[in-house]
Amino acid sequence: MNINKIKLHKVLTCREDETIVDIANRLKENKERRIFVVDTHGKLKGIITTTDLVYKSIAVHNQNLTAKDVMTKEVKSVEIDDDLNKALEIMNNLKSFSCPVTDKGNVIGLLSYHDLLGHVLTSIHENGTY
């Protein structure tokens, strides 16, 4: 079963040159814990979590940091047409409850462990298999 069969969560994105103050405000306003850093074409470049903002900005005492300064690079993601097992493998390896989904490298949504499990259980109930 491919990921494109599951409804994805919308994601927040920012550019590499946005300040951490602006990013923190956007996360707070949207009640989110993560924001994906993209280039001008929407390609996934990194991820910033609230933990990243707190620890990295406090460590250097600098509010002029940008997304590029604090983001985690080389984000593990799945393509929209990938098999669900790949998303589950990434979540298990990272001990995470979510995985970004891309379409040709452009971030398009977020797949949660809860969504994946719900989809599998519904498919098993309806079809006898996922």
Nearest to 67 by CA among 27, 9, 107: 27
pLDDT score recorded for residue 128: 66
Distances (CA, A) of 15 to 28, 40, 94, 98: 17, 7, 24, 21
Q: Which domain holds residue 80?
A: 3-127
pLDDT score recorded for residue 59: 65
**Which tokens sit at 35?**
């924001």
Q: Give me the average pLDDT of each 10-residue run along the chain (130 residues).
A: 82 94 93 95 94 76 82 93 91 92 94 84 74
Radius of gyration of the chain (CA): 16
**Which tokens sit at 77?**
């993601």
Number of compact structural domains in the chain: 1
- Chain centroid, CA 55 distance in Å: 19
Domain with residue 41: its CATH number is 3.10.580.10
The torsion defined by the Cα of 58, 59, 64 and 70, in degrees rounded to 10, comes to: -100
pLDDT score recorded for residue 17: 95
Residue count of the chain: 130
- What is the DSSP code (8-state) at residue 8? P
